[in-house]
């Protein structure tokens, strides 16, 4: 079978029959060997029987959620290619021919683009059309280098084997983003086709929750991009903190009519520490995600982890600790010069703050090196250790069993010969 069209379904009695009949007619008109799979997520309105009567195969999926329903249908699909679309009659399944042609041409994933094909009046809420979808799609392109213009289009087609290799995990609406992100990271051949979106044929409210599902999409995009979640903000904080800290360590800095002094120095130190910790988080997250298969291997991260051994990390932490201790000694000497009395914070903090920063960063570097080494421990399966005495006993038992079997065979032959003589 060439194509399976999978539709998630939860109480779609008003539209599911129409969607199935349109898709079956598309198969007949285009000469495609195909099937319609309704991934039913627990409908209670008779959607299942309506879909069967229209010519679909219904696959029950117990675990709730848009992504769970789709993955259940995709796994049950019999086609080499799979197309997915909502069962609310908002997508025109008769326009799948260009999608199939791209798949035949070698594409792994073909995305629909509603902004290029046309969105009918009333088909998409203005908040989704002008803010939600454009912003989330932009974030996806920025974070992952994707060229897809409509991350959340519900009409798409793909090579079933290629998509199953991605190991998609999300069970909710963020499944739409996960498929595009993982396919992009896997360097799949991803293409786009213009598609239209019409007002759905239901009288009830859609299952989509604007803010909850929008946040789930954004959260997924952030968690799958340690670079934008940790690395880039961390580098910005470190750069600003280091530049401001160096400048303010030598005295106040005045810009126009604004004067920056030791109070700003404390803030700069905090920014430097936060940035350093964030960069470390980016590295550790990337290593963990790579080991667990959430993200593909990154040659740059591999080079860093190969260079940054536990020993080098401890040396770095030790050097920072020494610098911090030197600063603390210098601050004590400064206090001693002032007879251990009250100090002018404009002078004393310029010694204490850099020393404290160095000590905190020394601990961060040390702990990060230890944790990175723990992540590098690989689980191995060693062959079982055998006891020589047990092995010898096993050999003896096997020999005894063989001798017993040979004796039994000899007795059986003798009995057979004796019986033959009596008969003769």
CA distance 244 to 350: 12
CATH code linked to domain 3-223? 3.90.550.10
- Asked if residues 343 and 262 have their Cβ atoms less than 8 Å apart, the reply is no
Residue 345 pLDDT: 78
Residues in Cβ contact with 166 at an 8 Å cutoff, skipping those fewer than 6 apart: 179, 182, 183, 186
**CB burial readout 290-316, b (16+ within 10 A) else e:** beeebbeebeebeeebeebeeeebbeb
Q: For 87, how many CA atoms within 13 A lie in the half-sphere containing its CB?
A: 33
Burial of 283 (0-12, 13-18, 19+ CB in 10 A): buried
Residue 296 pLDDT: 80
Alpha helices (H) along 95-186: 97-104, 114-117, 126-127, 133-144, 160-165, 175-185
pLDDT in tens, 27-80: 999 999 999 999 999 999 999 999 999 999 999 999 999 999 999 999 999 999
Residue 383 pLDDT: 55
Residue 359 pLDDT: 95
- Asked if residues 194 and 119 have their Cβ atoms less than 8 Å apart, the reply is no
Residue 419 pLDDT: 61
Residue 138 pLDDT: 93
Q: What's the rounded mean pLDDT across residues 335-364?
A: 86
Residue 395 pLDDT: 59
Asked whether residue 350 carries a pLDDT value surpassing 70, the answer given is yes
Predicted model pTM: 0.73
The two three-digit tokens of residue 127, written as one number:
């908040």
Asked whether residue 343 carries a pLDDT value surpassing 80, the answer given is no
Residues in Cβ contact with 308 at an 8 Å cutoff, skipping those fewer than 6 apart: 369, 372
Q: What's the rounded mean pLDDT across residues 188-211?
A: 87
Q: C-alpha distances in angstroms, 352 versus 32, 136, 316, 385?
A: 75, 44, 20, 58
Residue 420 pLDDT: 60
The two three-digit tokens of residue 407, written as one number:
């004796």
Q: What's the rounded mean pLDDT across residues 73-92?
A: 95
Residue 255 pLDDT: 86
Q: For 226, how many CA atoms within 13 A lie in the half-sphere containing its CB?
A: 19
CA distance 195 to 123: 13
The two three-digit tokens of residue 50, written as one number:
């309506």
Residues in Cβ contact with 422 at an 8 Å cutoff, skipping those fewer than 6 apart: none
CA distance 82 to 59: 15
pLDDT in tens, 154-197: 999 999 999 999 988 888 888 989 999 999 999 999 999 999 99
Q: What's the rounded mean pLDDT across residues 139-157?
A: 92
Residue 189 pLDDT: 97
Q: Where do the domains of the chain lie?
A: 3-223, 226-375
- pLDDT band of 337, cuts 50, 70, 90: confident
Helix or strand holding residue 262 (H, E): helix 262-292
198 closest CA partner among 353, 347, 348, 18:
18
Q: What's the rounded mean pLDDT across residues 340-363?
A: 87
Residues in the chain: 424
Across the chain, mean pLDDT equals 88
Rounded percentage of the chain residues whose pLDDT exceeds 90: 57
Asked whether residue 132 carries a pLDDT value surpassing 70, the answer given is yes
Sign of the torsion formed by the C-alpha atoms of 385, 389, 393 and 398: positive
| Highest mean predicted confidence (pLDDT) among 14-23, 132-141, 290-299, 336-345 | 14-23
CA distance 136 to 152: 9
Residue 179 pLDDT: 94
- pLDDT band of 390, cuts 50, 70, 90: low
CA distance 158 to 183: 10
The two three-digit tokens of residue 215, written as one number:
């946040």
Rounded percentage of the chain residues whose pLDDT exceeds 70: 92
pLDDT in tens, 376-385: 776 555 555 5
- Asked if residues 142 and 220 have their Cβ atoms less than 8 Å apart, the reply is no
CA distance 377 to 15: 54
């Amino acid at each position: 079978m060439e194509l399976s069209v999978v539709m998630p379904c939860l109480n779609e009695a008003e539209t599911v029959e129409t969607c199935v009949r349109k898709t079956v007619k598309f198969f007949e008109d285009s000469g495609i060997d195909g099937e319609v799979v309704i991934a039913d997520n627990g409908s209670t309105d008779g959607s299942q029987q309506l879909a069967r009567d229209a010519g679909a195969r219904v696959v029950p999926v117990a675990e709730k959620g848009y992504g769970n329903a789709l993955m259940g249908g995709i796994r049950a699909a019999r086609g080499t290619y799979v197309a997915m679309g909502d069962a609310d009659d908002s997508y025109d399944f008769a326009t799948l021919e260009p999608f199939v042609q791209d798949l035949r041409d070698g594409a792994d994933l073909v995305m629909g683009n509603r902004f290029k094909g046309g969105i009918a009046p009333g088909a998409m809420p203005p908040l989704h059309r002008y803010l939600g979808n454009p912003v989330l799609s932009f974030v996806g392109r920025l974070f992952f280098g994707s060229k897809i213009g409509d991350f959340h289009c519900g009409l798409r087609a793909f090579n079933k084997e290629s998509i199953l290799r991605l190991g998609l995990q999300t069970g909710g609406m963020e499944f739409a983003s996960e498929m595009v992100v993982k396919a992009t990271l896997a360097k799949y051949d991803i293409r786009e086709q213009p598609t239209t979106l019409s007002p759905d044929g239901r009288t009830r409210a859609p299952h989509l929750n604007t803010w909850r599902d929008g946040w789930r999409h954004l959260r997924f995009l952030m968690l799958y991009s340690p670079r934008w979640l940790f690395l880039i903000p961390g580098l910005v904080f470190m750069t600003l903190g280091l530049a401001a800290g160096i400048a303010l360590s030598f005295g106040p800095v005045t810009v126009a009519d604004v004067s920056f002094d030791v109070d700003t120095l404390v803030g700069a130190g905090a920014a430097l520490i936060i940035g350093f910790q964030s960069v470390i988080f980016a590295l550790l997250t990337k290593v963990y995600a790579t080991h667990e298969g959430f993200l593909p291997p990154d040659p740059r991260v591999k080079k860093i982890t190969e260079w940054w051994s536990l020993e080098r990390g401890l040396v770095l932490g030790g050097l920072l600790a020494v610098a911090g201790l030197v600063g603390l000694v210098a601050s004590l000497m400064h206090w001693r010069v002032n007879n251990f009395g009250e100090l002018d914070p404009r002078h004393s903090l310029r010694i204490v703050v850099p020393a404290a920063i160095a000590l905190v960063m020394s601990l961060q570097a040390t702990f990060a090196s230890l944790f990175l080494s723990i992540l590098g421990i690989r689980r191995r399966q060693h062959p079982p250790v055998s006891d020589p005495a047990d092995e010898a006993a096993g050999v003896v038992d096997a020999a005894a069993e063989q001798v017993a079997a040979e004796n039994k065979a000899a007795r059986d032959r003798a009995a057979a010969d004796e019986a033959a003589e009596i008969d003769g």
